[in-house]
Chains A and B, each alone.
Chain A
């Protein structure tokens, strides 16, 4: 019986093609917006997680409070703090460094990319970023630079290859390596030098922006985190230093992303509501138009329930068809944005998500049914004689 109603509903939708499609279009747009936005924010989350995974969870990240990322002014961490860590024996490698925008000159062209000076930076970079050409720089390579992919190609008019010379703050360096693209503008636009060279050219003495310390295998990161905090507090006498794990940062980003996602999906949901109102409107018109048909159906034995079911299925079906195309469109849009964004230097891992697609379909069907429920109720309650007499 139910599949007969599906068939009846389908025939009726097909019978008034143009209006059906226009109504369905409203749902297509709403579902596409929701699917695309969820898919993109999932992609963003996946991308961030991937970058952190490469980084490894067995680390402590230490920065002065208020530190917002490479390039911002460091206040507080000095070589003395590093010594505190070095005296502890739970760490495998302690990498640290500073970054700031600096003047870089290649073939008489001057740009201001981000300059990163790192100590034990080799170990850190080896974990996160593959080398495309050449080698990493190591402690003592004070005249060598390693460059991000966009420094090599894109920043300057001429492509920079290994063994090329490049001037940073008037000091000449030799390019010894080029990194693979990381996928974010910031990192790909960075020139890596040693901390000693950095301090020399920028005239800094003993400050660093951040420390990334890798923990020895078997050491509990969270209890070490507490221990380091205590140690800093005892020896420095202030709480001006933040000690976090990559997992904690990830969680923080995750919760921010969650809020952003909720807001975006909320906005997209508005368009779906508008689409739903479109269905309600169209179904009311249909009920009016087909009042006589309802009368006919009742005269040949349709119960109120049958009429209700036929109209509900009809509106649900419009939702479903809209959902189908909306899911396709939304997935297409998010894949296209992901591809475009990755090509433009901001890596975004957008994937086809069958669960999300199924959710979109079901959701659209339910929105259709809900939108159609009032008109369907009205249709089912019509008195047969009155409905038949309707012109």
Chain B
């Protein structure tokens, strides 16, 4: 079984990201290089301030780099206008955040349906797909609950279902277990791993060694650069 395809889905070339903070420029990424193959599970590890989240945001088209090129599925996304970036985020990327980031006024089902609204998918298809996904993450009995009525682990399951709604190629998770106890965290991790085994490219930013050990490769970041890549 070879889940990792011989195709680069993500490639960062000399990527710089410089934040302007008042009068001082702060470079969060300093010429970062990284390659991820399709179907791979990559863990990104590093101390706080090393640029992990900045890198993830750049890969996920949430932000454009100050310099350098980012290829996503062989397309340069480093200089695209916001409207095209939004399309890429909606179709190719599924985000999972540390603090879940669900919309509090919407039910579980509606939260999962939301990305599909922005892609203009019909209501009927949206409902069916959302129910299917919630079933897959084991929450079929909570579809009408509001996020506030769910536990942390359940919320993260909803977030994962939402990330999958437009069937993206890449799942980007930023400290997905950071707000969960270790048992729930392990459950979320195995859910993510299952998705990876089913063919999704998975990049997880973490400082949890246990997560990193599960990955195919570990990229170590320091001062906005990949300093070491460890293959399992």
A residues near B (Cβ < 8 Å) are: 1, 4, 8, 11-12, 14-15, 292-293, 295-306, 383-385, 388
Contacts and interface: CB of A to CB of B under 8 A. Distances in A.
A14 B105 contact: yes
Given A303-B118, A306-B118, A385-B57, A298 B101 contact: no
B118 A15 contact: no
B89 A298 contact: yes
Given A12-B105, A302-B86, A388-B101, A297 B62 contact: no
Contact of B60 (A12, A299, A302, A306): A299
B182 interface: no
A384 to B, nearest CB: 5
A303 B103 contact: no
B51 to A, nearest CB: 13
A300 B63 contact: no
A303 B88 CA distance: 10
Contacts of B105: 11-12, 14-15
B106 A301 contact: no
17 contacts: A4-B117, A8-B117, A15-B104, A296-B102, A297-B103, A297-B114, A298-B86, A299-B101, A300-B89, A300-B95, A300-B163, A301-B118, A304-B86, A305-B83, A385-B62, A388-B62, A388-B97
A297 B86 CA distance: 10
Q: Is the contact region of chain A dominated by helix, strand, or loop, or is it mixed?
A: helix
Given A11-B105, A385-B57, A388-B62, A299 B118 contact: no
Given A300-B114, A302-B90, A304-B82, 11 more contacts: A4-B123, A8-B106, A298-B86, A298-B89, A299-B60, A299-B62, A300-B115, A301-B87, A303-B86, A383-B63, A388-B97
Interface string B143-162: 00000000000000000001
Nearest to A7: B110
A299 B103 CA distance: 12
B119 interface: yes
Contacts of A14: 105
B52 interface: no
Contacts, number: 72
A300 B162 contact: yes
Contact of A303 (B83, B102, B110): B83
B62 A300 contact: no
Nearest to B119: A301
Q: Which of A1, A11, A385 lies at the interface centre, i.e. has the most chain B CB atoms within 10 A of its CB? A: A385
Contacts of A299: 60, 62, 89, 95, 101
A270 B163 CA distance: 47
Closest 6 CB pairs of A and B: A301-B90, A15-B105, A300-B115, A303-B86, A301-B118, A385-B63
Contacts of B102: 296
A17 to B, nearest CB: 11
B131 interface: no
A297 B95 CA distance: 11
Contacts of B110: 11
B123 A301 contact: no
A302 B101 CA distance: 15
Contact of B103 (A1, A296, A301): A296
Contacts of B103: 293, 296-297
Contacts of B123: 4
Contacts of A305: 83
A305 B81 CA distance: 13
Q: Which of A292, A299, A306, A385 lies at the interface centre, i.e. has the most chain B CB atoms within 10 A of its CB? A: A299
A102 B78 CA distance: 95
Contacts of A306: 86, 118
B91 interface: yes
Nearest to A295: B101
Interface string B71-91: 000000000001100110111
Nearest to A13: B105
A11 B146 CA distance: 12
A301 B62 contact: no
A14 B87 CA distance: 29
Contact of A301 (B57, B63, B166): B166
B62 A384 contact: yes
Contacts of B106: 8, 11
B168 to A, nearest CB: 10
A296 B110 CA distance: 14
B120 A384 contact: no
